[in-house]
Amino acid sequence: MRGPLTGLRVAVPGTGAAAWHAARLLGRLGADVAAQADNHGAAADWAASGVMALTGRRDGPPVLPPGQTASAVRGALRAIELLCAVAGREVDLPGMGVLSERAALAGLRRDAPRSPGGAFRVLRAADAWVGLNLPRQSDVDLLPAWLEEADPVLDEAVARRRAGELAERARLLGLPFAVLPSEPDEQSLARGQVPFVLTGEPGARSWTLPPTVVVDLSSLWAGPLCAHLLGLTGARVIKVESVTRPDGARRGPREFYDLLHAGHESVVLDFAAAQGRAALAGLLDAADVVIEGSRPRALRQLGIDADEVLSRARDKVWIGITAYGRTGPWANVPGFGDDAALAAGLLAFDPGTGGPVPCGDAIADPVTGVNAALMAVACRMSGGAWLADLALREQIAATLVDTGEPGLPGEVARPRRREPAGVAAELGRDTGKVLAELGLPC
């Protein structure tokens, strides 16, 4: 398959790990890349990103994570800027601080073996390190059924069981659970553990960035960050939510929600009603870019078929974000940023105690959001209909590059706030206006 950037020559300036990752990503999208970078300097990027400050015990020092995730995000943002420059569009994008800005706005701190947000915890099973995410009370209520004990003591019950047994029961119950990999599993073997799956064919390839309407069906962090970055490149963003299940990120922190959604229009629909589903179908047809974060089963329940929508369009980009990918035996397995990162192999260990240390705050979410924005920009510049399948786990796995350089990060920066550009629209504020403009049922 020809990538969307096939035929485009891009020069990546600079040296170091971020430039190396920018060149790597652009090359995988088909560009002819001129670069002289090496993949050194990742430790300094970890320290400067704010992630290292979030990694470690509450009463211990910051811990340097493995791999090059912070450098990869810095590189992806640089790649977006380079493409926009080719398209003649000036942009002002955030830096790799996007990895830690939610923690800065929410006042989160490192707290190993728990994540800064507290919902995720690393545990020791009988044969492996595992991670359990309990973001909702309904997940907590499933613990007795998962462990087959009336009143389980979590650490002790997990320690008595093998990781495979725990994973199998977690998938049956829909619990976000991960095992630190020691060898390829059935999902990675099915998908090849690639950084992204992109299918389609280039269109006119004018290498401009045309006016773009983004319909954002996603929630929480990864998809909304993608939409936010596209908005910063000049796209019009329409956020679409269910009247019964709006984006859970609206519950806070409010400043973080404002940061990602200020300037976007808000449409609310009743997906259970025929009129709501008809309006949704019309919005998908009107979009130049669709962003969604639903597992295939949930999309089918809404009557949404990405391939069918793309078949009706000459120039459209569909961004699908899931924990483990749209295909393979784990396509419908739930997951969030922390557990997906552990499933990819991203886990640090405290040098003093040897204990496990989750890396950053739900780190797979912002990594995927930045990469998704890069996919969307590249595909829009290429023209044509494209489907980008991004799995949280695979985005992290692609950054676990070992350079063998010594861990000398220098000064460890705290997570930094980025102030919102305004206040996000209240739920459904623009429903009537947007539907009327597109001639859709209100």
Do the bridges between strand 289-292 and strand 316-322 make them parallel or antiparallel, or are there none, so unpaired? parallel
Position 1 scores a pLDDT of 60
Q: What's the pLDDT band for 47 if we cut at 50, 70, 90? A: very high
CB crowding 51-76: b at 16 or more within 10 Å, else e: bbbbbbbeeeebbbbbbbbbbbbbbb
Q: Under 8 Å CB-to-CB from 312, ≥6 apart: which residues? A: 285
Give the model's pLDDT for residue 406.
62
C-alpha to C-alpha distance for 379 and 235, rounded to whole angstroms? 14
Residue 408: pLDDT over 70: no
Q: Dihedrals φ, ψ of 11, to 5°? A: -100, 125
**pLDDT exceeds 90 at position 424:** yes
**Host H or E run for residue 223:** helix 222-232
Q: How confident is the model at residue 405 (pLDDT cuts 50, 70, 90)?
A: low
What is the CB neighbour count within 10 angstroms for residue 41? 21
Instruction: Report whether CATH 3.40.50.10540 matches the domain 9-108+189-437.
Output: yes
Torsion angle (degrees, nearest 10) of CA 338, 344, 129, 147: 70
Is the distance from CB of 114 to CB of 133 less than 8 angstroms?
no
Residue 335: closest CA among 289, 256, 396: 396
Mean local confidence (pLDDT), 9-33: 95
* HSE value, Cβ hemisphere, 13 Å, CA-based, for 35: 28
Cβ burial, residue 213 (10 Å; 0-12/13-18/19+): middle
> What are the tens digits of pLDDT across the range 371-381?
999 999 999 99
CATH 3.40.50.10540 boundaries in the chain = 9-108+189-437
Look-up of token digits 């970078």: 37
Residue 241, beta-bridge partner list? 268
pLDDT at residue 235, rounded to an integer: 98
Contact (Cβ atoms closer than 8 angstroms) between residue 342 and residue 132:
no
* 91 neighbors 81 (Cβ within 8 angstroms): yes
How many Å separate Cα 34 from the centre of its chain?
Answer: 28
Give the pLDDT confidence of 299-345 residue by residue, as tens digits. Answer: 888 889 999 999 998 899 999 999 999 999 999 999 999 999 999 99
Tens of pLDDT along 120-164?
999 999 999 999 999 999 999 999 999 999 999 999 999 999 999
* Torsion angle defined by CA atoms of residues 12, 13, 19 and 22, in that order, rounded to the nearest 10 degrees: -20
